[in-house]
């Protein structure tokens, strides 16, 4: 079972207390695709400019990532520059140049239209909706990420799209903003009524929470000695989560729990090095070993 992802492919300029890079491949769909490809084949939909070289695209090669949906148009690729605070819990955006991403209108190649596991990364909710509409038949899982920008500026469009969504994957601040509730259990109840019956709340280094009906499952963040660059952690979490769920093939409580662990695993690898550096060299064996270490991290007997 493959996963379809739609979202940004970008060049990032990153600055953290541990270093600086001027131009590295990034974007939510990129991180997601690389992370998910450890579990299942990935179908990528995005747009890049003519400054996107074969070297840039090398990350997708040999990884079960289908890039026929990665459109290439005249102009420059989406560019984002950001700087993280000393403790890396805050970041400021130094530049956002949408470039070719400004006119992004995702189109699914015919070969993608039978997709059953779909991840709508953080883009305009109407574009997210259009992607779902292009899929033939009933997908097994439509999952969506969004952000404060869309929650504030396109609430109507977002509400419309959320009706089509099974799993909402956002961070705690976004869950609170979208629901108007500070308490996360109360926030989940409000969000369930908007459409998604499953809510995944990403909490950065602390881990993530899954809520579904009355069920709650928590997964910790993997304890790391060195965190170099938080960029892409949330997207890698989503990639690991959706990849593992698609590999399992069915949405069950047990599969969702395992997917949460794999999400946390992939998010933890992402932050160990700059940009995609850790993921470039990551081996399937390492994913397996780290996932199993979550048993030790959480197991107890009363």
Size of the residue set binding its own copies (CB under 8 A): 40
Torsion of CA 230, 167, 110, 126, to 10 degrees: -80
The reply to whether 91 sits near its own copies by the rule CB under 8 A is: no
Using CB under 8 A as the binding rule, whether residue 294 contacts its own copies is answered as: yes
Query: Is residue 173 a contact residue for its own copies (CB under 8 A)?
Result: no
86 forms part of the interface with its own copies (CB under 8 A): yes
Binding mask 183-222 for its own copies (x = CB under 8 A): xxxx----------------x--xx-x-----xxxxxx--
**167-171 and 215-220 as β-strands: parallel, antiparallel, unpaired?**
unpaired
Told to check if 257 binds its own copies by CB under 8 A, we report yes
Residue 258 found at the interface with its own copies (CB under 8 A): yes
Shortest Å, Cβ 40 to its own copies = 16
Q: Which of 54, 95, 284, 302 binds its own copies (CB under 8 A)?
A: 302
Phi-psi region of 203 (alpha: psi -120 to 50; beta: other; left: phi over 0): alpha
How many C-beta neighbours within 10 Å does residue 72 have?
Answer: 15
39 makes contact with its own copies (CB under 8 A)? no
For residue 27 the two structure tokens come to: 């974007």
CB of 275 to its own copies, least distance (A): 20
Using rule CB under 8 A, residue 177 touches its own copies: no
Regarding 254 and contact with its own copies (CB under 8 A), the answer is yes
Q: Is 102 in the site for its own copies (CB under 8 A)?
A: no
Collect contacts of 294-302 with beta carbons under 8 A, ≥24 apart: 294/219, 294/220, 294/222, 294/261, 294/264, 294/265, 297/220, 297/222, 297/223, 298/219, 298/220
Q: Does 105 engage in binding with its own copies (CB under 8 A)? A: no
Cβ distance to its own copies smaller for residue 88 or 123:
88
**In the complex, least distance from residue 225 CB atom to its own copies, rounded to whole angstroms:** 5
Does residue 285 touch its own copies according to CB under 8 A? no
- Taking CB under 8 A as the criterion, the residue among 93, 137, 223, 283 binding its own copies is 223
Residues found near its own copies in the complex (CB under 8 A): 86-88, 182-186, 203, 206-207, 209, 215-220, 223-227, 254, 257-258, 260-262, 291-292, 294-302
């Amino acid at each position: 079972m493959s996963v379809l992802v739609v979202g940004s492919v970008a060049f990032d300029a990153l600055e953290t207390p541990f270093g600086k890079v001027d131009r590295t491949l990034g974007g939510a769909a990129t991180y997601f695709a690389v992370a998910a490809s450890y579990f299942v084949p990935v179908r990528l939909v995005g747009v890049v400019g003519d400054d996107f070289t074969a070297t840039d695209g090398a990350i997708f090669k040999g990884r079960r990532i289908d890039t026929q949906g990665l459109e290439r148009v005249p102009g420059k690729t989406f560019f984002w520059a950001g700087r993280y605070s000393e403790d890396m819990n805050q970041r400021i955006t130094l530049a956002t140049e949408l470039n070719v991403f400004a006119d992004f209108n995702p189109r699914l190649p015919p070969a993608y239209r039978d997709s059953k596991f779909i991840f709508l990364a953080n883009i305009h909710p109407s574009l997210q909706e259009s992607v779902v509409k292009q899929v033939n038949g009933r997908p097994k899982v439509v999952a969506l990420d969004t952000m404060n920008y869309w929650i504030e500026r396109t609430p109507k469009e977002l509400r419309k799209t959320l009706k089509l969504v099974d799993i909402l994957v956002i961070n705690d601040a976004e869950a609170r903003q979208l629901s108007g509730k500070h308490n996360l259990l109360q926030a989940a109840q409000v969000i369930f009524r908007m459409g998604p019956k499953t809510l995944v709340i990403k909490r950065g280094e602390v881990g993530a929470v899954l809520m579904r009906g009355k069920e709650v499952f928590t997964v910790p963040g993997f304890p790391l000695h060195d965190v170099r660059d938080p960029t892409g952690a949330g997207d890698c979490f989503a990639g690991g989560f959706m990849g593992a769920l698609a590999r399992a093939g069915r949405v069950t409580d047990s599969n969702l729990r395992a997917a949460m662990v794999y999400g946390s695993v992939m998010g933890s690898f992402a932050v160990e090095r700059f940009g995609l550096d850790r993921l470039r060299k990551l081996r399937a064996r390492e994913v397996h070993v780290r996932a199993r270490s979550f048993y030790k991290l959480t197991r107890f007997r009363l």
